[in-house]
Structure 1
Amino acid sequence: MVSRSVIVTGGAGDIGLAVAHGFAREGAAILLVDARPAPDEALAALVSEGAREAKAITADVGDPQAVAEAVETACDAFGGLDVIVNVAGMMIYRPIVELEAADWRRLLDVNLVGAALFTGHAFRRMKPGGCVINIASVHARRTSPLVAPYAAAKAALVSFTRSAAIEGKPLGLRVNAILPGAIDTTMLRDSPNIRSGAEVIDPADLGQPEDVAALAVFLASDAARFITGEDIVADGGRMGRL
Protein backbone atom coordinates (compact mmCIF):
# COMPACT_ATOMS: atom_id res chain seq x y z
CA MET A 1 0.00 0.00 0.00
CA VAL A 2 3.04 2.30 0.16
CA SER A 3 2.62 5.47 -1.94
CA ARG A 4 -1.03 4.83 -2.67
CA SER A 5 -3.61 7.57 -2.21
CA VAL A 6 -6.80 6.91 -0.28
CA ILE A 7 -10.06 8.78 0.27
CA VAL A 8 -11.96 7.83 3.42
CA THR A 9 -15.47 9.26 3.69
CA GLY A 10 -16.91 9.59 7.16
CA GLY A 11 -13.27 10.10 8.04
CA ALA A 12 -13.92 12.01 11.27
CA GLY A 13 -15.96 9.16 12.77
CA ASP A 14 -14.81 6.15 14.75
CA ILE A 15 -14.67 3.63 11.91
CA GLY A 16 -13.46 6.20 9.37
CA LEU A 17 -10.53 7.25 11.56
CA ALA A 18 -9.65 3.64 12.29
CA VAL A 19 -9.62 2.92 8.54
CA ALA A 20 -7.42 5.96 7.97
CA HIS A 21 -4.97 4.79 10.63
CA GLY A 22 -4.86 1.36 9.03
CA PHE A 23 -3.84 2.87 5.71
CA ALA A 24 -1.47 5.31 7.41
CA ARG A 25 0.51 2.36 8.73
CA GLU A 26 0.85 1.24 5.10
CA GLY A 27 2.38 4.60 4.13
CA ALA A 28 -0.60 5.86 2.15
CA ALA A 29 -1.55 9.47 1.45
CA ILE A 30 -4.99 10.00 2.96
CA LEU A 31 -7.84 12.45 2.44
CA LEU A 32 -10.52 12.44 5.12
CA VAL A 33 -13.95 13.57 3.91
CA ASP A 34 -16.63 14.27 6.51
CA ALA A 35 -19.50 16.62 7.23
CA ARG A 36 -17.65 17.48 10.44
CA PRO A 37 -14.21 19.10 10.44
CA ALA A 38 -11.35 16.74 11.24
CA PRO A 39 -9.15 18.19 14.01
CA ASP A 40 -5.55 19.02 13.16
CA GLU A 41 -4.33 16.58 15.79
CA ALA A 42 -6.09 13.75 13.96
CA LEU A 43 -4.16 14.54 10.79
CA ALA A 44 -0.91 14.86 12.73
CA ALA A 45 -1.55 11.45 14.29
CA LEU A 46 -1.95 9.88 10.84
CA VAL A 47 1.36 11.32 9.68
CA SER A 48 3.12 10.22 12.84
CA GLU A 49 1.80 6.72 12.27
CA GLY A 50 3.31 6.58 8.79
CA ALA A 51 1.00 8.34 6.36
CA ARG A 52 2.91 9.96 3.49
CA GLU A 53 0.49 12.86 3.76
CA ALA A 54 -2.87 13.52 5.44
CA LYS A 55 -5.47 16.11 4.51
CA ALA A 56 -9.12 16.69 5.35
CA ILE A 57 -12.04 18.49 3.78
CA THR A 58 -15.51 19.18 5.11
CA ALA A 59 -18.12 17.98 2.65
CA ASP A 60 -21.61 16.53 2.40
CA VAL A 61 -21.27 13.21 0.57
CA GLY A 62 -24.84 13.57 -0.67
CA ASP A 63 -23.86 16.70 -2.63
CA PRO A 64 -22.59 15.79 -6.13
CA GLN A 65 -20.48 18.94 -6.39
CA ALA A 66 -18.86 18.27 -3.01
CA VAL A 67 -18.05 14.72 -4.07
CA ALA A 68 -16.46 15.91 -7.31
CA GLU A 69 -14.39 18.49 -5.41
CA ALA A 70 -13.21 15.89 -2.90
CA VAL A 71 -11.97 13.61 -5.66
CA GLU A 72 -10.29 16.53 -7.41
CA THR A 73 -8.61 17.55 -4.15
CA ALA A 74 -7.17 14.07 -3.66
CA CYS A 75 -5.96 13.76 -7.24
CA ASP A 76 -4.35 17.20 -7.21
CA ALA A 77 -2.72 16.75 -3.79
CA PHE A 78 -1.55 13.17 -4.18
CA GLY A 79 -1.03 12.83 -7.92
CA GLY A 80 -3.82 10.31 -8.40
CA LEU A 81 -6.32 8.12 -6.59
CA ASP A 82 -5.99 4.43 -5.76
CA VAL A 83 -8.53 3.57 -3.06
CA ILE A 84 -11.86 4.93 -1.85
CA VAL A 85 -13.40 3.64 1.36
CA ASN A 86 -17.00 4.80 1.67
CA VAL A 87 -17.63 4.84 5.41
CA ALA A 88 -19.99 7.82 5.69
CA GLY A 89 -23.37 6.84 7.08
CA MET A 90 -26.22 8.03 9.24
CA MET A 91 -29.26 6.59 11.00
CA ILE A 92 -32.52 7.94 12.30
CA TYR A 93 -34.79 6.02 14.66
CA ARG A 94 -38.42 6.44 13.70
CA PRO A 95 -41.31 4.14 12.82
CA ILE A 96 -42.19 3.87 9.15
CA VAL A 97 -45.56 5.58 9.70
CA GLU A 98 -43.74 8.73 10.90
CA LEU A 99 -41.16 8.91 8.12
CA GLU A 100 -41.40 11.73 5.60
CA ALA A 101 -40.09 11.65 2.05
CA ALA A 102 -37.25 13.96 3.13
CA ASP A 103 -36.12 11.38 5.70
CA TRP A 104 -35.88 8.67 3.08
CA ARG A 105 -34.07 10.94 0.63
CA ARG A 106 -31.53 12.13 3.19
CA LEU A 107 -30.59 8.64 4.37
CA LEU A 108 -30.39 7.35 0.82
CA ASP A 109 -28.18 10.30 -0.14
CA VAL A 110 -25.70 9.70 2.69
CA ASN A 111 -25.72 5.90 2.85
CA LEU A 112 -26.06 5.04 -0.85
CA VAL A 113 -25.89 7.91 -3.33
CA GLY A 114 -22.65 9.36 -1.94
CA ALA A 115 -20.88 6.03 -2.27
CA ALA A 116 -22.26 5.60 -5.79
CA LEU A 117 -21.05 9.06 -6.82
CA PHE A 118 -17.58 8.44 -5.41
CA THR A 119 -17.48 5.13 -7.27
CA GLY A 120 -18.37 6.84 -10.54
CA HIS A 121 -15.48 9.24 -10.08
CA ALA A 122 -13.21 6.34 -9.17
CA PHE A 123 -14.04 4.60 -12.43
CA ARG A 124 -13.17 7.76 -14.34
CA ARG A 125 -9.95 8.57 -12.48
CA MET A 126 -8.38 5.36 -11.12
CA LYS A 127 -5.79 3.32 -12.93
CA PRO A 128 -6.03 -0.49 -13.07
CA GLY A 129 -5.35 -1.96 -9.65
CA GLY A 130 -7.50 0.56 -7.80
CA CYS A 131 -10.43 -0.38 -5.64
CA VAL A 132 -13.53 0.85 -3.85
CA ILE A 133 -14.65 -0.51 -0.48
CA ASN A 134 -18.17 0.23 0.71
CA ILE A 135 -18.94 -0.01 4.41
CA ALA A 136 -22.49 -1.34 4.51
CA SER A 137 -24.00 -3.05 7.57
CA VAL A 138 -25.48 -6.33 8.76
CA HIS A 139 -28.75 -4.38 8.59
CA ALA A 140 -28.54 -5.08 4.85
CA ARG A 141 -29.42 -8.69 5.69
CA ARG A 142 -31.15 -8.68 9.07
CA THR A 143 -32.47 -5.64 10.86
CA SER A 144 -34.35 -4.26 13.85
CA PRO A 145 -37.28 -1.88 14.34
CA LEU A 146 -37.18 1.86 13.66
CA VAL A 147 -34.30 1.92 11.15
CA ALA A 148 -36.04 1.07 7.87
CA PRO A 149 -34.38 3.78 5.70
CA TYR A 150 -30.91 2.87 6.98
CA ALA A 151 -31.45 -0.86 6.42
CA ALA A 152 -32.90 -0.29 2.96
CA ALA A 153 -30.05 2.00 1.96
CA LYS A 154 -27.40 -0.45 3.16
CA ALA A 155 -29.10 -3.32 1.32
CA ALA A 156 -29.07 -1.18 -1.81
CA LEU A 157 -25.38 -0.40 -1.22
CA VAL A 158 -24.61 -4.13 -1.22
CA SER A 159 -26.53 -4.56 -4.49
CA PHE A 160 -24.73 -1.55 -5.95
CA THR A 161 -21.40 -3.08 -4.95
CA ARG A 162 -22.13 -6.15 -7.08
CA SER A 163 -23.12 -4.03 -10.07
CA ALA A 164 -20.07 -1.81 -9.69
CA ALA A 165 -17.77 -4.82 -9.46
CA ILE A 166 -19.13 -6.09 -12.78
CA GLU A 167 -18.57 -2.75 -14.49
CA GLY A 168 -15.24 -2.18 -12.79
CA LYS A 169 -13.67 -5.48 -13.82
CA PRO A 170 -12.89 -4.48 -17.43
CA LEU A 171 -11.23 -1.34 -16.00
CA GLY A 172 -9.04 -3.38 -13.69
CA LEU A 173 -10.88 -2.00 -10.64
CA ARG A 174 -12.32 -3.99 -7.76
CA VAL A 175 -15.35 -3.14 -5.60
CA ASN A 176 -16.28 -4.91 -2.35
CA ALA A 177 -18.49 -4.28 0.65
CA ILE A 178 -17.98 -4.86 4.36
CA LEU A 179 -21.00 -5.52 6.56
CA PRO A 180 -20.03 -4.67 10.14
CA GLY A 181 -22.12 -5.93 13.01
CA ALA A 182 -22.19 -4.22 16.40
CA ILE A 183 -19.09 -2.04 16.52
CA ASP A 184 -18.11 0.01 19.55
CA THR A 185 -18.77 3.46 18.10
CA THR A 186 -20.52 6.65 19.11
CA MET A 187 -23.31 5.81 16.67
CA LEU A 188 -23.96 2.52 18.44
CA ARG A 189 -23.72 3.97 21.94
CA ASP A 190 -26.14 6.78 21.02
CA SER A 191 -28.69 4.37 19.55
CA PRO A 192 -32.10 4.74 21.24
CA ASN A 193 -32.55 0.98 20.85
CA ILE A 194 -29.39 0.38 22.88
CA ARG A 195 -30.11 3.08 25.45
CA SER A 196 -33.66 1.83 26.05
CA GLY A 197 -32.57 -1.79 26.33
CA ALA A 198 -34.74 -2.80 23.37
CA GLU A 199 -31.56 -4.21 21.82
CA VAL A 200 -29.01 -5.93 24.03
CA ILE A 201 -25.58 -6.82 22.70
CA ASP A 202 -23.46 -9.52 24.27
CA PRO A 203 -20.00 -8.05 24.95
CA ALA A 204 -18.56 -11.03 23.05
CA ASP A 205 -20.38 -9.76 19.94
CA LEU A 206 -19.06 -6.20 20.19
CA GLY A 207 -16.32 -5.42 17.69
CA GLN A 208 -13.91 -2.52 17.51
CA PRO A 209 -13.46 -0.01 14.67
CA GLU A 210 -10.02 -1.52 14.11
CA ASP A 211 -11.65 -4.83 13.18
CA VAL A 212 -13.39 -3.15 10.26
CA ALA A 213 -10.25 -1.20 9.36
CA ALA A 214 -8.11 -4.33 9.17
CA LEU A 215 -10.54 -5.90 6.72
CA ALA A 216 -10.64 -2.75 4.59
CA VAL A 217 -6.84 -2.61 4.39
CA PHE A 218 -6.76 -6.28 3.39
CA LEU A 219 -9.39 -5.81 0.68
CA ALA A 220 -7.35 -2.96 -0.79
CA SER A 221 -4.16 -5.00 -0.80
CA ASP A 222 -2.64 -7.14 -3.52
CA ALA A 223 -3.42 -10.17 -1.38
CA ALA A 224 -7.11 -9.57 -2.20
CA ARG A 225 -6.56 -9.05 -5.94
CA PHE A 226 -8.94 -11.93 -6.80
CA ILE A 227 -11.78 -10.69 -4.56
CA THR A 228 -14.41 -8.41 -6.07
CA GLY A 229 -18.18 -8.04 -5.88
CA GLU A 230 -18.29 -9.57 -2.41
CA ASP A 231 -20.14 -8.48 0.72
CA ILE A 232 -18.21 -9.70 3.73
CA VAL A 233 -19.79 -9.83 7.18
CA ALA A 234 -17.66 -8.80 10.15
CA ASP A 235 -19.85 -9.37 13.18
CA GLY A 236 -18.03 -11.87 15.39
CA GLY A 237 -20.40 -14.61 14.25
CA ARG A 238 -23.48 -12.94 15.73
CA MET A 239 -25.70 -13.57 12.68
CA GLY A 240 -24.50 -17.13 12.31
CA ARG A 241 -26.18 -18.44 15.46
CA LEU A 242 -29.68 -19.87 15.66
Structure 2
Amino acid sequence: MKLQNKVAIVTGSTSGIGKYASFALAKAGARVTVTGRRSEKGEQVVQEIKANGGQAIFVQADMMHEESYEYLVNETLQAFGQIDILVNNAGNIIEKSFLELTVDDFQQFITLDGYAYFRMMQEVIPHMKNGGSIINVTSLAAINTIPTHSLYSFVKAGVTQMSKGVAQEFAGQNIRVNCLLPGAVDTEMVAGNPNSDFIRSLIPMQRFSTPEEQANIIVFLASDDSSYMTGSSIVADGGVRGI
Protein backbone atom coordinates (compact mmCIF):
# COMPACT_ATOMS: atom_id res chain seq x y z
CA MET A 1 0.00 0.00 0.00
CA LYS A 2 2.78 2.41 -0.94
CA LEU A 3 0.27 5.06 -2.06
CA GLN A 4 -2.00 4.90 0.97
CA ASN A 5 -3.54 8.29 1.84
CA LYS A 6 -2.71 9.62 -1.64
CA VAL A 7 -5.20 10.91 -4.22
CA ALA A 8 -4.65 10.50 -7.95
CA ILE A 9 -6.29 11.90 -11.08
CA VAL A 10 -5.84 9.80 -14.21
CA THR A 11 -7.00 11.40 -17.46
CA GLY A 12 -8.14 9.17 -20.28
CA SER A 13 -8.79 6.33 -17.85
CA THR A 14 -11.81 4.60 -19.35
CA SER A 15 -9.57 2.31 -21.41
CA GLY A 16 -5.98 1.40 -22.26
CA ILE A 17 -3.04 2.52 -20.16
CA GLY A 18 -5.17 4.95 -18.15
CA LYS A 19 -7.63 2.26 -17.14
CA TYR A 20 -4.92 -0.09 -15.91
CA ALA A 21 -3.04 2.77 -14.26
CA SER A 22 -6.22 3.49 -12.26
CA PHE A 23 -6.40 -0.16 -11.20
CA ALA A 24 -2.73 -0.24 -10.22
CA LEU A 25 -2.80 3.06 -8.32
CA ALA A 26 -5.90 1.96 -6.39
CA LYS A 27 -4.31 -1.39 -5.59
CA ALA A 28 -1.34 0.52 -4.17
CA GLY A 29 -3.71 2.42 -1.87
CA ALA A 30 -4.49 5.63 -3.74
CA ARG A 31 -7.97 7.06 -4.05
CA VAL A 32 -8.50 7.59 -7.76
CA THR A 33 -10.46 9.96 -9.96
CA VAL A 34 -11.25 8.12 -13.18
CA THR A 35 -12.15 10.41 -16.04
CA GLY A 36 -13.05 10.36 -19.70
CA ARG A 37 -15.90 11.03 -22.10
CA ARG A 38 -17.55 7.61 -21.89
CA SER A 39 -19.52 7.46 -18.65
CA GLU A 40 -20.52 3.79 -18.93
CA LYS A 41 -16.92 2.65 -19.33
CA GLY A 42 -15.75 5.03 -16.60
CA GLU A 43 -18.28 3.70 -14.13
CA GLN A 44 -17.19 0.15 -14.98
CA VAL A 45 -13.60 1.04 -14.06
CA VAL A 46 -14.78 2.56 -10.76
CA GLN A 47 -16.90 -0.48 -9.93
CA GLU A 48 -13.99 -2.82 -10.57
CA ILE A 49 -11.74 -0.75 -8.30
CA LYS A 50 -14.37 -0.82 -5.55
CA ALA A 51 -14.93 -4.55 -5.99
CA ASN A 52 -11.24 -5.04 -5.21
CA GLY A 53 -11.38 -2.91 -2.07
CA GLY A 54 -10.24 0.40 -3.56
CA GLN A 55 -11.76 3.88 -3.61
CA ALA A 56 -12.58 5.76 -6.80
CA ILE A 57 -14.99 8.18 -8.41
CA PHE A 58 -15.80 8.84 -12.05
CA VAL A 59 -15.89 12.38 -13.39
CA GLN A 60 -17.09 12.75 -16.97
CA ALA A 61 -14.86 15.26 -18.71
CA ASP A 62 -13.58 15.94 -22.21
CA MET A 63 -9.95 17.07 -22.30
CA MET A 64 -10.66 18.98 -25.52
CA HIS A 65 -12.71 21.53 -23.56
CA GLU A 66 -11.23 24.30 -21.42
CA GLU A 67 -13.86 24.08 -18.70
CA SER A 68 -13.00 20.42 -18.05
CA TYR A 69 -9.65 21.07 -16.37
CA GLU A 70 -10.82 23.15 -13.41
CA TYR A 71 -14.01 21.08 -13.12
CA LEU A 72 -12.06 17.83 -12.85
CA VAL A 73 -9.78 19.24 -10.16
CA ASN A 74 -12.69 20.70 -8.18
CA GLU A 75 -14.65 17.46 -8.28
CA THR A 76 -11.61 15.56 -7.03
CA LEU A 77 -11.05 18.02 -4.18
CA GLN A 78 -14.72 17.84 -3.21
CA ALA A 79 -14.61 14.04 -3.09
CA PHE A 80 -11.19 13.47 -1.54
CA GLY A 81 -9.95 16.80 -0.17
CA GLN A 82 -6.49 16.69 -1.78
CA ILE A 83 -4.51 15.86 -4.92
CA ASP A 84 -1.12 14.15 -4.76
CA ILE A 85 -0.74 12.45 -8.14
CA LEU A 86 -1.64 13.47 -11.68
CA VAL A 87 -1.36 11.05 -14.57
CA ASN A 88 -1.77 12.95 -17.83
CA ASN A 89 -2.70 10.18 -20.22
CA ALA A 90 -5.66 11.23 -22.38
CA GLY A 91 -4.67 11.25 -26.02
CA ASN A 92 -5.10 9.97 -29.52
CA ILE A 93 -2.87 8.95 -32.39
CA ILE A 94 -2.66 10.66 -35.74
CA GLU A 95 -1.10 8.81 -38.66
CA LYS A 96 -1.11 10.87 -41.87
CA SER A 97 1.24 11.86 -44.62
CA PHE A 98 2.74 15.26 -43.79
CA LEU A 99 1.23 16.92 -46.87
CA GLU A 100 -2.23 15.63 -45.98
CA LEU A 101 -2.25 17.16 -42.49
CA THR A 102 -4.72 20.01 -42.06
CA VAL A 103 -4.95 22.99 -39.74
CA ASP A 104 -7.82 21.21 -37.98
CA ASP A 105 -5.63 18.13 -37.47
CA PHE A 106 -2.95 20.33 -35.92
CA GLN A 107 -5.34 22.21 -33.63
CA GLN A 108 -7.24 19.16 -32.44
CA PHE A 109 -4.21 17.02 -31.81
CA ILE A 110 -2.17 19.68 -30.04
CA THR A 111 -5.18 20.49 -27.83
CA LEU A 112 -5.75 16.94 -26.61
CA ASP A 113 -2.18 15.69 -26.49
CA GLY A 114 -0.39 18.90 -25.57
CA TYR A 115 -2.50 21.76 -24.26
CA ALA A 116 -4.56 19.51 -21.97
CA TYR A 117 -1.35 18.24 -20.30
CA PHE A 118 -0.19 21.84 -19.84
CA ARG A 119 -3.50 23.00 -18.35
CA MET A 120 -3.95 20.02 -16.05
CA MET A 121 -0.51 20.64 -14.56
CA GLN A 122 -1.39 24.29 -14.05
CA GLU A 123 -4.62 23.36 -12.27
CA VAL A 124 -3.15 20.62 -10.09
CA ILE A 125 0.22 22.03 -8.94
CA PRO A 126 -1.24 24.76 -6.65
CA HIS A 127 -3.07 22.03 -4.71
CA MET A 128 0.04 19.87 -4.14
CA LYS A 129 0.74 21.57 -0.81
CA ASN A 130 2.84 18.70 0.55
CA GLY A 131 4.52 17.79 -2.71
CA GLY A 132 3.30 15.46 -5.38
CA SER A 133 4.06 13.46 -8.47
CA ILE A 134 3.03 14.19 -12.05
CA ILE A 135 3.43 11.50 -14.69
CA ASN A 136 3.00 12.59 -18.29
CA VAL A 137 2.41 9.66 -20.61
CA THR A 138 3.88 10.63 -23.96
CA SER A 139 5.33 8.14 -26.46
CA LEU A 140 8.42 6.52 -27.89
CA ALA A 141 7.65 8.79 -30.87
CA ALA A 142 9.03 11.69 -28.81
CA ILE A 143 12.52 10.36 -29.53
CA ASN A 144 12.06 7.86 -32.38
CA THR A 145 10.28 9.48 -35.32
CA ILE A 146 8.73 7.44 -38.11
CA PRO A 147 7.04 8.38 -41.41
CA THR A 148 3.42 9.58 -41.24
CA HIS A 149 3.80 10.43 -37.54
CA SER A 150 5.45 13.86 -37.83
CA LEU A 151 2.72 15.78 -35.98
CA TYR A 152 2.39 13.02 -33.38
CA SER A 153 6.14 13.08 -32.74
CA PHE A 154 6.20 16.88 -32.56
CA VAL A 155 3.56 17.04 -29.84
CA LYS A 156 4.95 14.11 -27.82
CA ALA A 157 8.46 15.57 -27.92
CA GLY A 158 7.13 18.96 -26.89
CA VAL A 159 5.31 17.57 -23.83
CA THR A 160 8.40 15.59 -22.86
CA GLN A 161 10.57 18.72 -22.99
CA MET A 162 7.95 20.84 -21.23
CA SER A 163 7.89 18.29 -18.43
CA LYS A 164 11.60 18.75 -17.82
CA GLY A 165 11.19 22.50 -17.44
CA VAL A 166 8.24 22.13 -15.06
CA ALA A 167 10.19 19.56 -13.06
CA GLN A 168 13.09 21.97 -12.58
CA GLU A 169 10.80 24.85 -11.61
CA PHE A 170 8.95 22.95 -8.88
CA ALA A 171 11.63 20.57 -7.61
CA GLY A 172 12.14 22.80 -4.56
CA GLN A 173 8.49 22.24 -3.60
CA ASN A 174 8.91 18.47 -3.75
CA ILE A 175 6.70 18.27 -6.83
CA ARG A 176 8.19 15.76 -9.22
CA VAL A 177 7.39 15.60 -12.94
CA ASN A 178 8.42 12.62 -15.01
CA CYS A 179 7.44 11.09 -18.34
CA LEU A 180 6.62 7.60 -19.44
CA LEU A 181 7.38 6.92 -23.11
CA PRO A 182 5.63 3.68 -24.10
CA GLY A 183 6.33 1.86 -27.30
CA ALA A 184 3.58 -0.28 -28.86
CA VAL A 185 1.02 -1.25 -26.22
CA ASP A 186 -1.76 -3.79 -26.68
CA THR A 187 -4.66 -1.34 -26.47
CA GLU A 188 -7.71 -0.63 -28.62
CA MET A 189 -5.75 1.82 -30.79
CA VAL A 190 -2.94 -0.65 -31.56
CA ALA A 191 -5.18 -3.69 -31.95
CA GLY A 192 -7.09 -1.94 -34.72
CA ASN A 193 -3.97 -1.01 -36.68
CA PRO A 194 -3.75 -3.03 -39.93
CA ASN A 195 0.05 -2.94 -39.64
CA SER A 196 0.12 -4.46 -36.15
CA ASP A 197 1.91 -7.64 -37.25
CA PHE A 198 4.62 -5.61 -38.98
CA ILE A 199 5.01 -3.35 -35.95
CA ARG A 200 5.39 -6.39 -33.69
CA SER A 201 8.13 -7.76 -35.97
CA LEU A 202 10.22 -4.62 -35.31
CA ILE A 203 10.21 -5.11 -31.54
CA PRO A 204 13.21 -7.08 -30.24
CA MET A 205 11.03 -8.68 -27.54
CA GLN A 206 8.66 -9.77 -30.35
CA ARG A 207 5.50 -8.68 -28.55
CA PHE A 208 3.53 -5.61 -27.59
CA SER A 209 3.61 -4.34 -24.04
CA THR A 210 0.56 -5.01 -21.92
CA PRO A 211 -1.13 -1.94 -20.41
CA GLU A 212 -0.47 -3.50 -16.98
CA GLU A 213 3.28 -3.30 -17.60
CA GLN A 214 3.04 0.41 -18.34
CA ALA A 215 0.78 0.89 -15.31
CA ASN A 216 3.39 -0.66 -13.03
CA ILE A 217 5.88 2.00 -14.14
CA ILE A 218 3.31 4.71 -13.43
CA VAL A 219 2.93 3.42 -9.86
CA PHE A 220 6.72 3.46 -9.48
CA LEU A 221 6.87 7.09 -10.65
CA ALA A 222 3.96 8.06 -8.41
CA SER A 223 5.50 6.53 -5.29
CA ASP A 224 8.47 7.32 -3.08
CA ASP A 225 10.31 4.47 -4.80
CA SER A 226 11.26 7.13 -7.36
CA SER A 227 11.71 9.94 -4.84
CA TYR A 228 14.97 11.22 -6.39
CA MET A 229 13.65 11.19 -9.95
CA THR A 230 12.28 14.33 -11.57
CA GLY A 231 12.56 15.62 -15.11
CA SER A 232 13.25 12.04 -16.21
CA SER A 233 11.83 9.95 -19.02
CA ILE A 234 11.38 6.20 -18.78
CA VAL A 235 11.23 4.44 -22.14
CA ALA A 236 9.32 1.15 -22.10
CA ASP A 237 9.44 -0.14 -25.66
CA GLY A 238 10.63 -3.75 -25.65
CA GLY A 239 14.06 -2.76 -26.96
CA VAL A 240 13.08 -0.73 -30.03
CA ARG A 241 15.25 2.24 -29.03
CA GLY A 242 18.31 0.03 -29.20
CA ILE A 243 17.82 -0.70 -32.91
TM bucket normalised to smaller: over 0.9
Mapped pair 1:103 → 2:83: no
Mapped pair 1:148 → 2:150: yes
Distance 1:198 1:213, change over 3 A: closer
Deviation at 1:200, TM superposition (A): 4.2
Deviation at 1:92, TM superposition (A): 2.1
SS of equivalent residue, structure 2 residue 184: coil
Mapped to 1, the partners of 2:138 and 2:155 lie a distance apart of 9
Mapped to 2, the partners of 1:24 and 1:199 lie a distance apart of 31
Q: CA RMSD in A?
A: 1.7
Deviation at 1:240, TM superposition (A): 1.1
Q: Quick one: which amino acid aligns to residue 236 of structure 1?
A: G
Mapped to 1, the partners of 2:126 and 2:31 lie a distance apart of 20
Aligned position for 1:81: 83
Contact 1:123/1:171, CA 8 A, preserved across alignment? no
The Cα offsets for residues 28-68 of structure 1, whole Å up to 9 and x where unpaired, read as 111112122234332111112232x2111221213221111
Mapped to 1, the partners of 2:143 and 2:207 lie a distance apart of 17
Mapped to 2, the partners of 1:178 and 1:39 lie a distance apart of 23
Aligned position for 1:212: 214
Deviation at 1:107, TM superposition (A): 0.7
Deviation at 1:223, TM superposition (A): 1.5
Identity of aligned residues (%): 30
Aligned position for 2:53: 50
Q: What TM-score do the two structures reach when normalised by structure 1?
A: 0.93
Range 73-82 or range 31-40, more displaced: 31-40
Contact 1:94/1:146, CA 8 A, preserved across alignment? yes
Gaps of 5+ in 2: none
Gaps of 5+ in 1: none
Indicate which of 9, 15, 18 corresponds to 1:16. Answer: 18
SS of equivalent residue, structure 1 residue 204: coil
Distance 1:98 1:60, change over 3 A: same
Deviation at 1:157, TM superposition (A): 0.8
Q: What TM-score do the two structures reach when normalised by structure 2?
A: 0.92
Indicate which of 164, 167, 170 corresponds to 1:168. Answer: 170
Mapped to 1, the partners of 2:152 and 2:184 lie a distance apart of 15
